[in-house]
Amino acid sequence: MNPDTSDNESPRPGWFLLALLLLALLPIRLYTALDTDTFWVDEVYTVLVAERSLDFLVSITTVDAHPPLFYLIVKLFLLVGGWIGFVPETLLVRLPSVMAFFGMVAVCWVMGRRLLGTTGGTLFALAVAVNGPIATHASDARNYTLLMLLVTTCFLLLGHARRLEREGAWSPGRIAMTWGIYTFCAGVALWLHLLASIALFFVGIVWICLALECRKWKSPFVIGGLVANAVAAASFLPWLFRLHHQLGYLSEANTEWMTPPEFFNWMYVFIYWYPYGRFGTNLLGEFPLLWILSILVLLPIVAWIATWAIKGRSTPEENASLNPLIFFALLLPPLFVTTLWMLSWFGVASVFHGLRYPVIMLPIWLFSMVGLSVLAAERFGGGRLMTVLLVAPFLLYGLLGQWTNHYLKTHFGRGAQVAFYQQHGLLPPAGSVIHVSPSSLLPHIAPTFGDFRLVPLENLAGLDAGEGTIHILTINWWHPIQEARPRLVRSFIRSGLLAENQTSLQFPHVEPDLSEFTLYTLHDLDWTIVERIFHPPTKVHEMDLLRAAATALPEHQYIVDGFHELELLDDGEPFCWAVGGETRARFDSTVAAGEYLLKVMIMRQPYPEKTVDVELGFVGEPDVHTVTLGEGFHHLQIPVVLRNSHSQPSLQIVHPVWRPVDYLEGTRDNRPLTFLFLGAVLVESGH
């Protein structure tokens, strides 16, 4: 028995059948990729980051778990799509994931048939194609589908290289192609997500074990693998200088939306979320069938163990022919998930989220399930039928997960919400104008609000003063990537200063949406404020306007103020918080004397110098803290001691002054600017 050559000695690739499979999947994937009802919170983040400048894109990704490569890919797709001119933007931002999905199915088909035989390889590709979580990510403008493709390809290439080594079939061309593809995939994966380094670490362990089995230290498998892994790791070295920012972010990230690192959640990964998807645990109590399927998906493991109990230990000939890659595939996903679980459990980094991050190893887990089914069927003499029966629960569970996802989106998604609110008269009359903010998201939600005329928020600037009623739809405000004027409008709306009368309708969250869709209806706007926002006077301070918007917000010991990067007006002059050298930001709460941790978020332009000393302290307190900052985004954490109790304490920040006229070509703006203030939080030490 040899799963490397099961069914025949040289399994054919089956290109025609593969083409039929891909053609059958194409309309489904395009339909889901074009579905704007499913455009969710993290995809909003992708779009907002990809549409910004390259400098900002690289800077903002230093405070996330994702290096900048995926956003650069999406940015390229948007540029190409803009040049072509007729491709829907929602499809453009999701197209990298769609293409990665088809690439992954093709790789699993071809490599699977080489390593598991015709039947095993075909079932492996089918399991990937119909899997619920993989299908969900294949329609997301996120990096996980591409990451799955790259990590899985690296893993399968090790099996391919081992086979070439055993058969003595290496040639210069095969050496270059095998290890060249491995190097490329591993290097690109590292630039997509920090957790790729952990996944590839375990893949590297597999290579070491196979190299030890080889015992030919000068063989192409050993030398080629060593060079490939070394080059891939070296390619990531330039990002290491920014890595400490990302690690700091992961250790401090909000984890309320994550599944906690508990044993049952670890177990759910393999019996619910891997085969079914993110809705598994929510529906278990209502549908006993899910419990049955959750047990049946472990049949390949049970069947393989049964071969040892019934058939006894395998012979030396069988041991020699066993493909160890199957057993490594069985071990790697639990090791990966356990590592994430432990990192979160011990507070090193918040990276365990059973519904998302473990998916990186999902195709490898499917490979192990199909591989064990092939091994068990071969030893029992059950042939293809037994292999299919053992894999069938995974296929059925995946299809059921996809159907559940579609059903929930259809009946409870955003489009269904809009129809419900229209039916009950909670939305403006059909045909009404709704101003959308951020306006760059308008193409991705317009079909959902098809009965209305959606326009950019900036169109407010062209309205006549005295316009009666205005409707504004705000969408998922990611604070680090807001532009200046839309954020200021939102601040005035939330503080109640933009209109004498206003009502709001917040759309309920639908997993995994979590986006903030809020429709504001404003009556009797203060057009003086609108005029100041969209047509601000030049060469003057805007401190009063911005402070009025910021301090009116009911934030407990939290201030959010200012903007993240220079937004240039039509005449080339920057619209931003123009202040002198001493900036004071006031908290809204009373703070008692004691020890605190001050968290400050600011964005710096490289002016007047790339690196400057910034002083921070509280008015009325003797201690002043000096930090040296370069350009870009900074999340500072400074231990402070308040010796006195303060009612609405003021944080004073001293930064060298620079003027746009001295640094920005084409502008005559002479305002004294410093940095772009994002926010500050003051928390008690130990919390």
DSSP letter at 269 equals I
> Cα dist. 149→449, 629, 643, 645, 686 in Å?
35, 38, 56, 56, 42
Kindly tell me if the per-residue pLDDT of 471 is higher than 50.
yes
**Model confidence band, residue 565 (pLDDT cutoffs 50, 70, 90):** very low
pLDDT digits (tens, 9 = 90+) for 309-367: 776 555 555 444 457 899 999 999 999 999 999 998 887 878 888 888 999 999 999 99
Give pLDDT, residue 538: 45
Query: What CA–CA distance (Å, rounded) separates 127 from 373?
Result: 13
pLDDT one-digit tens code per residue, 380-407? 888 899 999 999 999 998 998 888 888 8
Listed residue (414, 566, 530) closest to 475, CA to CA: 414
Q: What's the pLDDT score for residue 624? A: 94
**Angle at the Cα of 454 from the Cα atoms of 451 and 458, rounded to 5 degrees:** 165
Banded pLDDT at 9 (limits 50, 70, 90): very low
Confidence of residue 122 (pLDDT cuts 50, 70, 90): very high
| Average pLDDT for 108-115 | 94
Closest to 643 in 3D by CA, of 667, 625, 664, 618: 618
Enter the tokens of residue 313. Answer: 């230990």
Token couple for 139: 């329609």
Cis peptide before 438 (omega within 30 of 0): yes
Percent of the chain with pLDDT over 90: 37
| Chain centre distance of CA 264 | 24
Q: pLDDT at position 254, please?
A: 63
Strand partners, 676: 603
CB 354 within 8 A of CB 259: yes
Only one residue has tokens 């301070």, namely 541
d(CA 213, CA 558): 58
What's the pLDDT tens digit per position in 401-453? Answer: 888 888 878 877 888 889 888 888 889 999 999 999 888 889 888 888 989 99
Cα–Cα distance between 637 and 599 in angstroms, integer?
5
Scanning the structure block, which residue is given the tokens 């193409």? 443
Q: How confident is the model at residue 244 (pLDDT cuts 50, 70, 90)?
A: confident
CA 415 to chain CA centroid, Å, is 23
Confidence (pLDDT) at 224: 95
pLDDT digits (tens, 9 = 90+) for 498-555: 888 889 888 887 655 666 788 999 988 888 778 767 765 543 333 333 443 333 333 3
User: In angstroms, rounded to a whole number, what is the distance separating the alpha carbons of residues 679 and 685?
Assistant: 19
Q: Does residue 269 have a pLDDT over 70?
A: yes
Phi, then psi, of 291 in degrees rounded to 5: -60, -45
Report the predicted TM-score, pTM, of the whole model to 2 decimal places.
0.80
Mean per-residue pLDDT, 138-160? 96
Does residue 197 surpass a pLDDT of 80? yes
Q: Is residue 608 reached through a cis peptide bond, with omega within 30 degrees of 0 on the bond before it?
A: yes
Cβ proximity of 68 and 57 under 8 Å:
yes
Q: What is the pLDDT of residue 6?
A: 46
625 three-state secondary structure: strand
What pLDDT is recorded for position 546? 40
Q: What is the pLDDT of residue 506?
A: 84
Predicted pLDDT at 563: 37
Distance CA 450, CA 27 (A): 23
What kind and span of H or E run contains 412? Answer: helix 383-412
